[in-house]
Amino acid sequence: MTLGLVGYLFMLLAFSAAWAESPVQGSQPAVNKPQEKLSERAAGLRAYARLQALIEYYFMENGFYPASLEALEAGLNMRVFSAETKKTVSLLPKDAPMVTLGNDPVTGKPFVYTVSSDGRSYTLSLPEPKKYGNDVPELCQVDWGWLAVAAEGKRVRRITANCAHNLEELAALCEFYAKDHKKAFPPNFEALRPQYMPEKVRFPRCPACNLEYVYEFRRGGYTIACPDPHKHGLAGLKYDSEKGLMYAEFPNAQAQPKAKEQPNAQAQPKAKEQPDAQTQPKAKEQPDAQTQPKAKEQPDAQTQPRTKE
Ligand SMILES: [Zn+2]
């Protein structure tokens, strides 16, 4: 199972794209330019500037600032925790040079990074500014202008993709179950334990709202719905055993007032998505997702959707 890995896989894709375009990696000196002999202080300032560049790069790829310098380094090197081996592994190709953050060369101490709880702002400072003569400022988030909106869009799309991925993972489990049970689907998620989902492994949750998915069993089929699709800017997001992934947009979505878009579902759009939502998209538009108030299949909390293998 690779529940929750998808965030990193997206990062992998993003980084591979960047990789292909940039001939210079990490902290290597520029092409054809011999390494200059820098004073410790000059080297420190350069490392300081580089660290900020890496932090901002992370932001542009993810839409939020890293939780710590360790998280930054792990993210840049595509390290993920494997539940199977209990080890952190890098998804980078073997011969790829690692991105190392490094310490302040003057003091040998790490740079000091703090981030706000919402990941939207940070400060970066030298471990001992006095050693630099007190005239080196603390650094903070760059004003990216409209590019910040692009980064936010990436973040939102990634979260939605993660949610859809979770739906597909859960659906795959239901299909495995049906194969072994004369085509009968599980009555609820708990029925998947322990054969299709180990007791110790948590069922995935929506990465946007951290709530359990809503499973609805019906004769010959099922739906698994995102518990709060509004968090994705959608009226509905679910997986239907017959129709596949279904995205329901709000009727007044600027693009087109058609209301329904299901890229993965070839068949006819289920007419249930927004029965009466013409005027107020805030109201809960999915009767079928709401009627069954969350069969509580996963008592154990999942706070970190990303860390599992
Ligand atoms: Zn969701």
Q: In the 3-class helix/strand/coil scheme, how is the chain assigned residue by residue?
A: CCCCCHHHHHHHHHHHHHHHHCCCCCCCCCCCCCCCCCCHHHHHHHHHHHHHHHHHHHHHHHCCCCCCHHHHHHHHCCEEEECCCCEEEECCCCCCCCCCCCCCCCCCCCCEEEECCCCCCEEEECCCHHHHCCCCCCEECCCCCCHHHHHHHHHHHHHHHHHHHHHHHHHHHHHHHHHHCCCCCCCCHHHHCCCCCCCCCCCCECCCCCCECEEEEECCEEEEECCCHHHHCCCEEEEECCCEEEEECCCCCCCCCCCECCCCCCCCCCCCCCCCCCCCCCCCCCHHHHCCCCCCCCCCCCCCCCCCC
- Going from the Cα of 237 to the center of ligand 1, the distance in angstroms, rounded, reads 7
- Going from the Cα of 270 to the center of ligand 1, the distance in angstroms, rounded, reads 19
- Going from the Cα of 201 to the center of ligand 1, the distance in angstroms, rounded, reads 19
- Going from the Cα of 205 to the center of ligand 1, the distance in angstroms, rounded, reads 8
- Going from the Cα of 197 to the center of ligand 1, the distance in angstroms, rounded, reads 20
Give every CB contact of residue 102 below 8 A, 6+ residues apart in sequence.
27, 47, 51
Per-residue model confidence (pLDDT) at position 35: 65
Residue 286 pLDDT > 70, yes or no? no
Q: Residue 227 to residues 88, 153, 188, 196, 210: CA-CA distances in angstroms? A: 31, 21, 15, 22, 9
- Confidence tier at 97 by pLDDT (50, 70, 90): very high
Q: With contact defined as beta carbons under 8 Å apart, do 75 and 10 qualify? A: no
Per residue in 190-237, pLDDT (tens digit) is: 999 999 999 999 999 999 999 999 999 998 999 999 999 999 999 999
Structure-token pair, residue 125: 């400072």
- Going from the Cα of 267 to the center of ligand 1, the distance in angstroms, rounded, reads 23
Question: Percent of the chain having pLDDT more than 90?
Answer: 62
Overall average pLDDT of the 124-144 stretch = 93
Structure-token pair, residue 53: 């560049």
DSSP bridge partners of 90 = 79
- Going from the Cα of 35 to the center of ligand 1, the distance in angstroms, rounded, reads 49
Parse the chain into domains and list their residue ranges: 6-29+37-142, 163-290
Overall average pLDDT of the 244-264 stretch = 66
- Going from the Cα of 206 to the center of ligand 1, the distance in angstroms, rounded, reads 4
Looking at 88-97, 154-163, 186-195, 270-279, which range is the least confident one? 270-279
Amino acid at 174: C
Overall average pLDDT of the 150-173 stretch = 95
6-29+37-142 architecture in CATH? 2-Layer Sandwich (3.30)
- Going from the Cα of 109 to the center of ligand 1, the distance in angstroms, rounded, reads 41
- Going from the Cα of 212 to the center of ligand 1, the distance in angstroms, rounded, reads 9
- Going from the Cα of 94 to the center of ligand 1, the distance in angstroms, rounded, reads 34
Per-residue model confidence (pLDDT) at position 253: 61
Distance of CA 71 to the CA centre of its chain: 14
- Going from the Cα of 231 to the center of ligand 1, the distance in angstroms, rounded, reads 7
Residue 276 pLDDT > 50, yes or no? no
- Confidence tier at 32 by pLDDT (50, 70, 90): low
Ion ligand 1 residue ranges (Cβ < 5 Å): 163, 206, 208, 226
- Going from the Cα of 163 to the center of ligand 1, the distance in angstroms, rounded, reads 5
Cα–Cα distance measured from residue 138 to residue 289, given in angstroms and rounded to the nearest whole number: 49
Residue 117 pLDDT > 70, yes or no? yes
Cα–Cα distance measured from residue 5 to residue 13, given in angstroms and rounded to the nearest whole number: 13
- Going from the Cα of 228 to the center of ligand 1, the distance in angstroms, rounded, reads 6
Residue 120 pLDDT > 60, yes or no? yes
Residue 73 pLDDT > 60, yes or no? yes
Residue 298 pLDDT > 70, yes or no? no
- Going from the Cα of 22 to the center of ligand 1, the distance in angstroms, rounded, reads 34
Residue 289 pLDDT > 50, yes or no? no
Amino acid at 30: A
Looking at 34-38, 41-45, 191-195, which range is the least confident one? 34-38
